[in-house]
Amino acid sequence: MENGKAASQHNSNGQKRQSAQFADQQVTLGEGGETHQVAGNGTPVLTTQQGVPVADDQNSLKVGSRGPTALEDFHFREKIFHFDHERIPERVVHARGYGAHGYFELYESLSDITSADIFQRPGEKTPAFVRFSTVAGNKGSADLARDVRGFAVKLYTKEGNWDIVGNNIPVFFIQDAIKFPDLIHAAKQEPDRGFPQAQTAHDNFWDFASLMPESMHMIMWIMSDRTIPRSFRFMEGFGVHTFRLVNAEGKSTFVKFHWKPKLGMQSVVWNEALKINGADPDFHRRDLWDAIKMGDYPEWELGLQLFDEDFAEKFDFDVLDATKLIPEEVVPVRRVGRLVLDRCVDNFFAETEQVAFCTQNIVPGIDFTNDPLLQGRNFSYLDTQLKRLGGPNFTHIPINAPKCPFLNFQQDGHMAMTNPKGRANYEPNSWGAQGGPRESPKGYHSYPAEESGPKLRIRPESFADHYSQARQFYISQTPVEQDHIARALIFELSKVETPAIRMRIVSHLLNIDEELAQQVGDGLGLKQLPKPAEAAKPTRKDLKESPALSILKNSPNSFKGRKIGVVLTDGSDMALLQALKKAVKEEGALLEIIAPKVGGVTASDGTWVEAKQKINGGPSVLYDAVVLLPSKEGAKLLSMESTARDFVADAFAHMKFIGYVESAMPLLEKACIADSLDEACIALKDGADTTKFVEACRQVRFWERASKVHAV
């Protein structure tokens, strides 16, 4: 006995350890139907990776009660060894993401334009996995970073996996994949200091952008509200590049892919985004998880813009240039099916982290074009999966494996899980039916486009116009959205320390829109505007507005899928609350209760109402609209609570609809908005008012208030 201490067995809490009682029972668990031994309390028995039952998982094996740990402790070594190796490299871009399962359902046969199996039979469902992401931030960064969102879709078709690895923006920063490492280095944290995290608001990014005029169209998009979406459910997705669809006769049609959200588009405002990041850095992933768990399945329609060589020849821009789009008013989007996400992952690592999207994953009937960005991506994705997932057999991981049969002679390698059987591991062979798989004429054929020309490192002349579509995007926005673009530019550039970089960006803005350049120059306090940047193509085309590019011009006029935060206190009017709940439910929206204490409140009729959030944990930025239902006493209490005052003041500043009862006035006064109440602040007297309130919320925001809340 070392130091005379008794060697009784205790767990980490110092309590006497219950010795595991093993019953003679067995339990069947999991889809695999494995049987497990059952411990006394009905749970399965803990085992090592080798299946050895573990009797003590609280203490390592020691020599004496206070002596050194024995190297012999195989359970300890296995456990620690495995823990030490839990992490894999995070994605070099799009590290932070969130995925879900679902399906794609086809509306109409597209056999006239493509032989792709997925597009043949109306009503057929194809399993899908989707991962949404931010680009620049690390895995642990916050969801509401101002950033492009990745929208990557894996479709497990009957003729192989097809990945559409897109974004929520239809254009890109650069035209040639060779610039991708520079773009990403510039956007991510600066290498010496390791910050800023998940932000482009720093010198390196804007320095690079200012020297790459081809990024200007994308700059307009990323400074718009597209980069602060309300949630993944409220944003569009785009395949970005021009692809080809090829039919059974070998005829090719060009295509651009779109995902249109059923709930319509919606974004938050910047000040809200900043605060959401503090209040709930997982805001977007929680939203997706909650919606699916509640059975309110997020849905998008797949849209196709189809066009032929002739159109491509005549179009103002090169369809191989990923910094350009084709306005929907020029080539309409044909909706051909829907994507529904109806199942959360069982395990984040196994599915969301290990899913490996590759632009090279296409199927018969679909083909690439010569877009130099796409061509480069086809190398990068396969390559990066090797690094991330540790070997060429990442396709054997269930989330990556096709759901159709697959057979080939690729073999061995680390962690090979699906191994060919039989003698033949090569072809041709003369083993007949025993000789394994063979090619089929129905297999993948590349579209036989004619290509020839000298080898050159050159940017085609047809890629040279960097400002016309940037301007088109800007003039297609509502004044509110234009104002947000200007404010975003001023914010980002205000974080740039080098005046020359700010000046260079303004010199590009002058080529896009003079008023915008003026406004930004003014916001930055520039004494004088610079000269417009010299353009590769000096004449900018004056393109028509494209209303499809605006979020607000395409408002859904519905509050479906949105969330109202209701502040209650003891004594809150139960009848009003019930009426509000009914109206919200009828709209297909959600209601969450916020109270001084998370336990809940006793309402006017004595009923106990449970709360979801405590007032300082559920700020109004987490809701699309708010309702203040405190009793007189409750309002007095809340008016002395700074987080309650912030709740109200922020809802007002973020232009939200506010429903309130008369007794809430002291709180509105303390939040300094009692004198500024406008038509989006709606007094609720009886049940009918609650319906009117929810109907008013369909506008989502009361933009007219903007001038009252922004003086600077």
CB 108 within 8 A of CB 409: no
* Residue 373 makes contact with ligand HDD by CB under 6 A: yes
In contact, 386 and 394? CB cutoff 8 Å: yes
Question: What x-and-dash track marks residues 176-215 binding ligand HDD by CB under 6 A?
Answer: -x--x-----------------------------------
Helix, strand and coil content of the chain, in percent to the nearest 5, comes to 35, 20, 50
| β-bridge partners, 627 | 566, 659
Is 161 noted as a catalytic residue in this protein? no
92 part of the interface to ligand HDD, by CB under 6 A: yes
**Cβ closest to ligand HDD, residue 218 vs residue 363:** 218
- Give every CB contact of residue 592 below 8 A, 6+ residues apart in sequence: 563, 564, 565, 566, 612, 613, 618, 622, 623
The verdict on whether residue 406 carries a ligand-binding annotation is: no
Whole-number Å distance between alpha carbons of 428 and 122: 38
574 touching ligand HDD, by CB under 6 A: no
Sign of the C-alpha dihedral, residues 221, 227, 228, 234? positive
Binding string, 653-692, against ligand HDD, x = CB under 6 A? ----------------------------------------
Number of H helices, E strands in the chain: 19, 20
Strand pairing report for 590-595 and 613-614? parallel
**276 CB-contact burial (10 Å; exposed 0-12 / middle 13-18 / buried 19+):** buried
Residues 114-143 that bind ligand HDD (CB under 6 A): 131, 133
CB of 336 or CB of 373, closer to ligand HDD: 373
Minimum distance from CB of 395 to ligand HDD (Å)?
Answer: 13
Contacting residue, 102, 137, 150, 160, with ligand HDD by CB under 6 A: 150
**Binding segment (CB under 6 A) for ligand HDD, from list 73-81, 90-98, 138-146, 629-637:** 90-98
Q: Consult the annotation and say whether 338 binds a ligand.
A: no
Task: Tell me which of 36, 101, 161, 167 is the catalytic residue.
Answer: 167
Alpha helices in 640-680 (DSSP H): 642-653, 665-670
List residues bridging with 164 in a β-sheet: 153
Rg (CA), the chain: 29
> Are the beta carbons of 594 and 601 closer than 8 angstroms?
no
- Binding window for ligand HDD (CB under 6 A); candidates: 87-95, 546-554, 559-567, 609-617: 87-95
CB nearer to ligand HDD: pick between 182 and 610: 182
Catalytic-residue membership of 168: no
- Annotated binding residue 285: no
What token pair was written down for 28?
A: 């069947």
Smallest gap from Cβ 576 to ligand HDD, in A, equals 44
Using the rule CB under 6 A, is 563 a contact of ligand HDD? no
Q: Residue 388, annotated ligand binder?
A: yes
Cis amide bond preceding 420, omega within 30: no
Cis peptide before 428 (omega within 30 of 0): yes
Q: Which is nearer to ligand HDD, 372 or 630 (CB)?
A: 372
Q: Which of 165, 564, 648, 671 binds ligand HDD (CB under 6 A)?
A: 165
Site for ligand HDD in 332-371 (CB under 6 A): 355, 357
- What is the identity of the amino acid at 496? V
Nearer to ligand HDD, 271 or 380 (CB): 380
Compute how many residues bind ligand HDD; rule: CB under 6 A.
Answer: 25
Residue 453 has φ and ψ, to the nearest 5°, of 140, 165
Length of the chain: 712
Residue of 94, 466, 508, 654 marked catalytic: 94
- Lookup result for tokens 């003369």: 430
Helix axes 499-512, 203-211, angle to 10 degrees: 40
Shortest Cβ 208–ligand HDD spacing (Å): 14
151 or 559: whose CB is closer to ligand HDD? Answer: 151
Considering only residues 36, 45, 75, 91, which one is a binding residue for ligand HDD as defined by CB under 6 A? 91
Using alpha carbons, list the distances in angstroms from residue 454 to 111, 179, 411, 457.
37, 22, 39, 10
Minimum distance of ligand HDD from residue 91's CB (angstroms): 4
Distance CA 469, CA 215 (A): 11
Q: Give the number of C-alpha atoms closer than 13 A to the C-alpha of residue 232, restricted to the C-beta side.
A: 31
Considering the complex, state which of residue 60 and residue 375 has its C-beta at the smaller distance from ligand HDD.
Answer: 375
Residue in 102, 166, 659, 666 binding ligand HDD, rule: CB under 6 A: 166
- Contact stretch for ligand HDD (CB under 6 A) within 63-71, 100-108, 172-180, 291-299: 172-180
Query: Judged by CB under 6 A, does residue 235 bind ligand HDD?
Result: no
Sheet strands (E) in 168-251: 237-238, 243-246
Binding site feature residues for heme: 91, 131, 180, 377, 381, 388
Question: Which amino acids are annotated catalytic?
Answer: 94, 167
Q: Which residues contact ligand HDD by CB under 6 A?
A: 91-94, 97, 131, 133, 150, 152, 165-167, 172, 177, 180, 240, 322, 355, 357, 373, 376-377, 380-381, 384
Binding site per annotation, positions: 91, 131, 180, 377, 381, 388
